[in-house]
A and B are shown apart, each in its own frame.
Chain A
Amino acid sequence: MCKDSEQKIPKSCRRVAEFSDKQQYEEASFWQKIRLQLHILNCERCEKYHQLNNALTKLIKRNSFEGFSYEEKQNLKAKLKIS
């Protein structure tokens, strides 16, 4: 994982990192995907980030844990207020 502070990371890499994040949620546009792929061809740092990002997504999906839903949390909060 890149340990540079965020300020030191080139702007282009920061932008591409956002595309990689969006891709994890299937929210990257076609051109964002293309730009990501082109960028990581020449950028080891971003390639590594994208790989780890994909791995994290797989881990989260493998875990497939659902916490309390929004409604359940609201109900729980209401119960705690009533008590």
Chain B
Amino acid sequence: MSKNKLSPELWVERYSDYFLYFTISKVSDREMAKDIVSETFLAGLKSKDNFKGEASEKTWLISILKRKIIDYYRKINSNKGQAEVKMDYHTGHESGDWLEEQVSGSSMDSGEEAIENKELGQAIYDCLEQINPKHAKVFKMKSMQEMDTEVICNELKISSSNFWVMIHRARTALVNCMGQTWFKN
């Protein structure tokens, strides 16, 4: 079986928005979330020699991101001196790390999974991960970054008609992808 490889030069384009949304949903602070995503990429780059290629690049980066989010919570907890907040729990039947489990809930790994997320944004990003990357990129630039059509066409070196074809395909694919959950009514 061929091993997965890392392509750090593509991380920002491929994962930054998805990771940012994911992190915001966990830490609720946009600026902090941006820092955490940046740190994740830098940490990934520093430890790239540890990547064995058994997991996908994205899964590997998400595991780093989770650690960064946990570190963030540990840090703010220690800063506030909230000794009462227990990170570990031990009951009669179970024990574990509460924080780990909060951060690594079932939705964490579901980038390519079926949409079972309660959160709309997560669902949108899950679907954007599944559709043609070029179409997704054009859609994000237009719908989320609200860039001008002309600017996008110039940047991507595509014609206006090509642009609208890509937008149409992205929108159709998104509606199909999100259909079961979000377009019931």
Contacts and interface: CB of A to CB of B under 8 A. Distances in A.
A80 B34 contact: no
B17 A76 contact: no
Interface in A26-59: 27, 49, 52-53, 55-56, 59
A27 B121 contact: no
B144 A60 contact: yes
A67 B171 contact: no
A68 B20 CA distance: 8
Contact of B174 (A25, A56, A67, A83): A56
Interface string B85-109: 0000000000000000000000000
Interface string B39-65: 001100110000000000000000000
Nearest to B176: A1
Contacts, number: 87
A76 B38 CA distance: 7
A10 B146 CA distance: 30
Nearest to A22: B164
Contacts of A56: 171, 174-175, 178
Contacts of A62: 120
B171 A21 contact: yes
B179 A1 contact: yes
A65 B124 CA distance: 10
Interface of B: 8-9, 11-13, 16-17, 20-21, 24, 34, 37-38, 41-42, 45-46, 120-121, 124, 140, 142-145, 147, 149, 164, 167-168, 171-172, 174-176, 178-179, 182-183
Interface of A: 1, 17-18, 21-22, 24-25, 27, 49, 52-53, 55-56, 59-60, 62-63, 65-70, 72-73, 76-77, 79-81, 83
28 contacts: A1-B176, A18-B164, A21-B167, A21-B171, A24-B171, A25-B142, A25-B143, A27-B149, A52-B175, A55-B183, A56-B174, A59-B120, A59-B178, A60-B144, A63-B124, A65-B144, A66-B145, A67-B17, A68-B16, A68-B17, A68-B20, A68-B37, A73-B12, A73-B16, A77-B9, A80-B8, A80-B41, A83-B46
